[in-house]
């Protein structure tokens, strides 16, 4: 395996970047030719950002799994595709070669087909971090079914909402997931979800060996079907021919309003983008072991644990458990044991392991590491230096990769060892990415040493195409704030050298431990609690989580444990990740005369800046603010 599109020097980065702006079609045609297309595309790109309507490689026919699996199984069948490190340290590591992975994906295709899944079906996947999860994604992609993975920490209600929104007829789950010292009873949670919505079939993978209820006619065991079909003796399941712009997957993510939206990615552009960014940002070299700690339930897991590494024929390490189990040295043990060369994790994990102390690091052999990566939220300089010094031994480049569920893959990042890193800076855009900073009036902010709202002015192959079932929502959310631009929702600085530094969301979206949550979504959950009249949720700085959740709630009930019980309601409605850190019961919320909650004031109070609230004279009832200040949590 070699990567003809891998950038080898700063000079080449500059040349490629310039070319990608001057002649994007030629640039991406050059990259795309290194993949297998069953039929070549007719046009590289057609686009406009008003509707929006973006099409890459139109007319091209492909199957992403052919590029992930068949190609490599033919040339290096015995190369390890996945190393699986179980949650339980007494269980054995598993290695799955490209040839084996292709077989297992094929066998899962047959099982999915026999329960009725076909091209275009939407399949909700709710599993722990086990190889069968990646296999199920790939099996869907191979059959042309659209996968929508729901993170295993989400609630029954969240599953039901996604099943309904995606109009999914199928769920794939497992009996339970092993997470630290706990089992998460995934099948039971799916059963609860299915009290609210219906699906035709639930396919259950036996993993933890927990007893579950199987509803006749609806629930089927994967192994039962596979035995019945005798999948071992069936020929390889042939990849379904997909159009470049056919849907590959839907992934739900939170926005500033209402319910999570289903971000849609398509086959051709996503494939090219994740492969290109994987190979370039991490400067991946054939044979290296790549360890992305993200859960496949998030976009990072989709793009840099499954698709990106497999497209590059890489060895991807999948870890079932959590960084603190059995102790805070677990990630370093894994690096040591498997001689990991590239490690990709989130600032929140770095901060919490840093807080656990160096005792967990000191006896670990981390000399295999060559490249470190971070993703998901701004990294503070202290965490950056700790990561660099103690994990990277002072000699690994750190790639600070900025991107989003919507962008499919990394948009702004240094390239490991090729372009310089800089603490807390994502630095420079990848070829094809044209960032622009706009002020609140939509005027371009030019020059350096400036800040503004981060927008992108030209399409890149991996960008979202729509939000499932509601194209207008996609337009409203991303393309309407600044006409003609994709708006990211992030604030950003451009420093004296022209390097980008992401400062965080400028909309009502929180980033809690690298997980994205909408304040409106949390408020809606709180408001379902009996006795709650109204609520307002804001973020506040949190040492480990980056942001914590602070909820102000008007409650009229007689429960003395109202705060604790409201927190439980939020966990039940969304998942434990959305549970507020602080809940303050208030008599009223600070509102303007037109009835709008002044979140700026609530944020300041949550941050503890109670003496710098600014102008409160436009409030309907300024005395409310004193009451809130005095009872701050």
- Site residues (vs ligand WT7, CB under 6 A): 253, 298-300, 375-378, 400-405, 426, 488-490, 502, 504-505, 511, 516
Min. distance of Cβ 504 from ligand WT7 in angstroms?
Answer: 6
Render 540-553 in DSSP notation, one character per residue: EEETTTEEEEEEEE
Burial of 465 (0-12, 13-18, 19+ CB in 10 A): buried
Min. distance of Cβ 359 from ligand WT7 in angstroms?
Answer: 28
Min. distance of Cβ 252 from ligand WT7 in angstroms?
Answer: 10
Helix, strand, or coil (residue 594): coil
Torsion 593-596-598-602 (CA) sign = positive
Nearer to ligand WT7, 376 or 435 (CB): 376
Question: What is the spatial distance between Cα 460 and Cα 411, in angstroms, rounded to a whole number?
Answer: 9
CB 33 within 8 Å of CB 110: no
Q: Give, to the nearest 10 degrees, the angle between helix 10-22 and helix 24-32.
A: 120
Min. distance of Cβ 383 from ligand WT7 in angstroms?
Answer: 12
Cα 473 to chain centroid distance, Å, stands at: 20
Nearer to ligand WT7, 495 or 534 (CB): 495
Min. distance of Cβ 179 from ligand WT7 in angstroms?
Answer: 20
Helix, strand, or coil (residue 514): coil
Tokens of 272: 């090219």
Min. distance of Cβ 295 from ligand WT7 in angstroms?
Answer: 11
Min. distance of Cβ 428 from ligand WT7 in angstroms?
Answer: 13
CA 373-375-376 angle, 5° bins: 165
Nearer to ligand WT7, 132 or 345 (CB): 345
Helix, strand, or coil (residue 338): helix
Nearer to ligand WT7, 129 or 145 (CB): 129
Q: Name the residue with the smallest CB distance to ligand WT7.
A: 405
Tokens of 62: 């492909």
Min. distance of Cβ 463 from ligand WT7 in angstroms?
Answer: 13
Cα–Cα distances (Å) from 315 to 284, 342, 372, in that order, read 10, 11, 16
Nearer to ligand WT7, 290 or 298 (CB): 298
Tokens of 198: 């219906």
Nearer to ligand WT7, 326 or 504 (CB): 504
Nearer to ligand WT7, 401 or 466 (CB): 401
Per-residue exposure over 139-178, b if at least 16 CB sit within 10 Å of its own CB, e if not: bbbbbbbbbbbbbbbbbbbbbbbbbebbebbbbbbbbbbb
Nearer to ligand WT7, 201 or 501 (CB): 501
**CA-derived radius of gyration, the chain:** 24
Question: What is the spatial distance between Cα 369 and Cα 88, in angstroms, rounded to a whole number?
Answer: 24
Nearer to ligand WT7, 174 or 349 (CB): 349
Tokens of 111: 């099982």
Min. distance of Cβ 400 from ligand WT7 in angstroms?
Answer: 5
Nearer to ligand WT7, 42 or 543 (CB): 543
Min. distance of Cβ 176 from ligand WT7 in angstroms?
Answer: 26
Measured in degrees and rounded to the nearest 5, phi and psi for residue 302 equal: -60, -50
Nearer to ligand WT7, 423 or 504 (CB): 504
Of 559, 537, 532, 561, which is closest to residue 550 (Cα–Cα)?
A: 537
Min. distance of Cβ 282 from ligand WT7 in angstroms?
Answer: 14
Render 11-54 in DSSP notation, one character per residue: HHHHHHHHHHHH-HHHHHHHHHTTS--SB--SEEEEEETTTTEE
């Amino acid at each position: 395996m070699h990567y003809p599109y891998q950038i080898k020097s700063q000079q080449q980065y500059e040349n490629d970047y310039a070319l990608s702006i001057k002649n994007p079609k030629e640039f991406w045609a050059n990259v795309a030719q290194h993949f297998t297309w069953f039929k070549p595309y007719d046009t590289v790109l057609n686009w406009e950002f008003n509707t929006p309507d973006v099409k890459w490689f139109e007319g091209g026919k492909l199957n992403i799994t052919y590029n992930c699996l068949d190609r490599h199984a033919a040339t290096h069948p015995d190369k390890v595709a996945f190393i699986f490190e179980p949650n339980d340290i007494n269980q054995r590591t598993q290695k799955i070669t490209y040839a084996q992975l292709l077989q297992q994906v094929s066998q899962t295709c047959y099982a999915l087909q026999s329960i009725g899944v076909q091209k275009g079906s939407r399949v909700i996947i709710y599993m722990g971090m086990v190889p069968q999860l990646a296999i199920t994604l790939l099996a869907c992609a191979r059959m042309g079914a659209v996968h929508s993975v729901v993170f295993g920490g989400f609630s029954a209600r969240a599953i039901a909402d996604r099943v309904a929104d995606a109009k999914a007829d199928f769920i794939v789950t497992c009996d339970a997931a092993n997470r630290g010292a706990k089992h998460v009873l995934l099948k039971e949670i799916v059963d609860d979800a299915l009290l609210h919505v219906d699906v035709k079939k639930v396919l259950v993978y036996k993993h933890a060996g927990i007893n579950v209820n199987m509803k006749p006619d609806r629930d089927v065991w994967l192994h039962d079907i596979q035995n019945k079909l005798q999948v071992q003796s069936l020929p390889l399941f042939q990849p379904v021919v997909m159009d470049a712009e056919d849907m590959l997957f839907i992934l739900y993510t939170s926005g500033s309003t209402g319910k999570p939206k289903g971000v849609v990615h398509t086959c051709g552009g996503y494939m090219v983008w994740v492969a290109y960014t994987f190979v370039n940002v991490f400067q991946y070299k054939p044979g290296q072991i790549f360890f992305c700690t993200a859960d496949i339930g998030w976009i990072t897991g989709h793009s840099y644990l499954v698709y990106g590494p497999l497209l590059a024929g890489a060895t991807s390490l999948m870890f079932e458990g959590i960084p603190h189990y059995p102790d805070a040295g677990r990630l370093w043990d894994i690096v040591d044991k498997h001689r990991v060369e590239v490690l990709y994790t989130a600032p929140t994990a770095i901060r919490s392991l840093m807080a656990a102390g160096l005792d967990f690091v000191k006896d670990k052999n981390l000399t295999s590491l060559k490249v470190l990566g971070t993703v998901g939220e701004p990294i503070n300089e202290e965490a950056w230096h700790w990561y660099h010094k103690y994990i990277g031994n002072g000699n690994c480049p750190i790639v600070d990769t900025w991107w989003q569920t919507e962008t499919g893959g990394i948009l702004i990042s240094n390239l490991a060892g090729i372009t310089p890193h800089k603490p807390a800076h994502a630095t420079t855009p990848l070829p094809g990415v044209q960032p622009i900073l706009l002020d609140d009036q939509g005027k371009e902010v030019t020059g350096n040493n400036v800040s503004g709202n981060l927008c992108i002015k030209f399409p890149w192959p991996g960008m979202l195409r729509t939000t499932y079932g509601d194209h207008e929502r996609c337009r409203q959310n991303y393309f309407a704030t600044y006409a003609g631009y994709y708006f990211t929702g992030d604030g950003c600085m451009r420093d004296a050298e022209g390097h980008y530094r992401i400062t965080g969301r400028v909309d009502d979206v929180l980033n809690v431990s690298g997980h994205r949550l909408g304040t409106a979504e949390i408020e809606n959950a709180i408001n379902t609690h009996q006795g709650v009249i109204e609520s307002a949720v804001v973020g506040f700085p949190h040492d480990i989580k980056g942001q914590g959740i602070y909820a102000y709630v008007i409650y009229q009930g007689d429960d003395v444990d109202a705060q604790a019980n409201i927190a439980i309601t939020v966990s039940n409605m969304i998942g434990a990740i959305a549970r507020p850190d602080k809940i303050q019961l208030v008599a009223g919320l600070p509102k303007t005369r037109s009835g709008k909650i002044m979140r700026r004031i609530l944020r300041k109070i949550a941050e503890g800046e109670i003496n710098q609230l600014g102008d409160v004279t436009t409030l309907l009832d300024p005395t409310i603010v004193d009451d809130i200040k005095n009872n701050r949590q």
